[in-house]
């Protein structure tokens, strides 16, 4: 069924945050744009949902820092209801021996000095180095990267000039910051976090604070130090390197984006999945929806996983052989596991008992680099970590709209879990010795919390409808 002709410049597949931003900018440039979203709500990974009666939280993404300030300003997101608040503390790292590291609020050096006065003295120079490199990355994030082209030197020339501009920007850093493989960014990109941080730190807790994020790989894997930079070039409300919370959850961001897009003239259709991209004479000219409706436009933009686009939506004859081969071999799974938990009260850490600003921070449960390395190796062998790395946020300490009065919600970001276990889904049960991420995985999480003195001794994850108690009613989880 082909819909009667309508002047439409762009059909945009997928209403995630990138798609909504793209649609808004195109509409502001005067184009007629229609967004087609398969689900009943836009937002993609940035959606807030009720996961237990009375308890709401972000479903996948769970904290704010890398949302471009220019996008916020250009789309007027604050005027469309977006409000972001900064955490009162950056990170809280409790340790099993009763000590802890609590960073942020101008007290990071003081906290580091509890473990090493030498490291505390070196901290300003270390952070200045990161800040200088992060400033370059912030500028580059708004520039298109140089593109590999064919068709002769005259087509490649603009890309060579763009690459030269990039080189000049990196060369603007002083000589110390330019030392390394081929400049600071490549220096960090090729480094191993453990040795990199050990160059400037002599205490384990400080090393944990400095590269707690490099854990999609083991902490000693080459290249994983880049993630450290990735997590310092964001900002919140003008504060560089800060992390924050969107009031109402991450879905508040995409709802503000949707309102900005509609105000610019974008048409947004939900429950409108796409079955096929139409290609004529080598150009995308429209789509066929899951309901069988044919829509046409001058251009089609895809805000979906590339494997979905090239392997399912586009005709096989329209995909170059090299691209098809790359998609067949491209791995895009994640080793992380997200869980939302309903709490009847706040957790109580033996290292720092009671309520306080430390509960507004990112709470890192991973006491050593060796612990982190074991978690990754354990997942490689068994499919998941028996002692996982957990980053916990309790957004309801900053946003009382997410839980009933006096109660709270927690986001658990857990590592590592294999995207696909060897026996799943072909076999109905795991082979002897294998582990499956079900309630038993939640049990290992609770055991980890008890190690740090949180939650009652007998707490276990419960399914939907369970009585709400500390560390229970974990009714929403996502393997990513």
Query: 474 or 296: which carries more pLDDT confidence?
Result: 296
Give the tens place of pLDDT for each residue, 3-13. 665 779 999 99
CA distance 95 to 181: 35
pLDDT in tens, 141-181: 887 776 766 656 666 667 667 667 766 666 666 666 655 43
Q: What is the pLDDT of residue 247?
A: 98
Q: Are 44 and 66 in contact (CB under 8 A)?
A: no
Q: Are 352 and 102 in contact (CB under 8 A)?
A: yes
Q: What is the pLDDT of residue 452?
A: 66
Helix axes 17-28 and 251-263, enclosed angle (nearest 10): 20
- Provide the 3-class DSSP secondary structure of residue 8: coil
Residue 401 DSSP class? T
pLDDT tens column, 269-284: 999 999 999 999 999 9
CA dihedral 424, 428, 429, 430 (to 10 degrees): -20
Q: Cis peptide leading into 425, omega within 30 of 0?
A: yes
More confident residue, 289 or 477: 289
Query: What count of residues does the chain have?
Result: 480
Contacts of residue 419, defined as CB under 8 A and 6 or more positions apart, other chains included, come to: 333, 334, 335, 479
Taking only the tens place, the pLDDT of each residue in 439-468 is 455 556 666 666 666 653 333 333 332 222
List all residues 6 or more positions away from 320 whose beta carbon is below 8 Å from its beta carbon: none
CB atoms within 10 A of CB 389: 24
Q: Are 81 and 430 in contact (CB under 8 A)?
A: no
Residue range 191-245, pLDDT digits in tens: 444 444 444 455 555 555 544 443 357 777 877 777 777 778 889 999 988 999 9
Convert the pLDDT of each residue in 245-265 to its tens digit: 999 999 999 999 999 999 999
Q: Which residue has the higher pLDDT, 425 or 288?
A: 288
For the chain, the domains span 10-51+60-84+248-329, 100-242, 336-479
pLDDT tens-digit series, residues 94-137: 998 999 999 998 899 999 999 999 999 999 998 888 888 888 88
The CATH class, in words, for 10-51+60-84+248-329 is alpha beta
């Amino acid at each position: 069924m082909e819909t009667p002709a309508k002047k439409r410049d762009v059909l945009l597949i997928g209403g995630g945050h990138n798609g909504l931003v793209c649609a808004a900018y195109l509409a502001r440039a005067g184009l007629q744009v229609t967004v087609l979203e398969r689900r009943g709500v836009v937002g993609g990974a940035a959606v807030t949902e009720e996961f237990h009666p009375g308890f709401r939280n972000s479903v996948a993404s769970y904290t704010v820092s890398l949302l471009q300030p220019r996008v916020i300003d250009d789309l007027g997101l604050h005027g469309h209801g977006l409000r972001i608040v900064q955490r009162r503390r950056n990170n809280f790292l409790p340790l099993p021996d009763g000590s802890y590291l609590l960073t942020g609020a101008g007290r990071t050096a003081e906290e580091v000095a509890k473990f090493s006065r030498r490291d505390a003295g070196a901290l300003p120079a270390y952070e200045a180095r990161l800040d200088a490199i992060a400033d370059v990355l912030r500028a580059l994030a708004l520039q298109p990267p140089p593109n590999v082209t064919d068709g002769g030197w005259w087509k490649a020339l603009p890309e060579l000039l763009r690459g030269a501009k990039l080189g000049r920007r990196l060369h603007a850093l002083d000589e110390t910051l330019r030392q390394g493989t081929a400049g600071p960014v490549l220096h960090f990109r090729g480094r191993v976090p453990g040795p990199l941080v050990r160059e400037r730190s002599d205490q384990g807790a400080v090393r944990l604070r400095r590269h707690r994020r490099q854990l999609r790989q083991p902490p000693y894997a080459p290249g994983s130090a880049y993630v450290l930079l990735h997590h310092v070039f964001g900002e919140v409300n003008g504060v560089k390197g800060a992390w924050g919370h969107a009031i109402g959850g991450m879905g508040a961001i995409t709802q503000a984006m949707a309102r900005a897009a509609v105000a610019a003239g974008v048409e947004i259709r939900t429950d409108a999945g796409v079955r096929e991209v139409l290609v004529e004479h080598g150009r995308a000219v429209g789509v066929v929806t899951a309901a069988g409706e044919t829509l046409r436009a001058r251009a089609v933009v895809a805000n979906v996983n590339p494997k979905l686009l090239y392997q399912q939506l586009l005709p096989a004859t329209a995909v170059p052989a090299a691209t098809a081969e790359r998609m067949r071999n491209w791995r895009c799974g994640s080793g992380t596991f997200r869980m939302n938990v309903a709490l009847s009260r706040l957790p109580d850490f033996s290292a720092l008992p009671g309520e306080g600003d430390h509960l507004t921070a990112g709470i890192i449960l991973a006491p050593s680099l060796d612990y982190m390395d074991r978690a990754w190796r354990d997942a490689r062998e068994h499919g998941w970590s028996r002692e996982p790395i957990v980053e916990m946020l309790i957004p309801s300490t900053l946003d009382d709209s997410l839980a009933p009065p006096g109660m709270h919600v927690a986001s658990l970001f857990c590592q590592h879990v294999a995207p696909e276990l060897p026996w799943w889904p072909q076999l109905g049960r795991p082979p002897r010795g294998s582990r499956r991420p079900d309630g038993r995985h939640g049990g290992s999480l609770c055991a980890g919390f008890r190690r740090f003195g949180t939650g009652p001794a007998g707490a276990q994850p419960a399914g939907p409808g369970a009585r709400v108690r500390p560390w229970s009613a974990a009714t929403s989880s996502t393997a990513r």
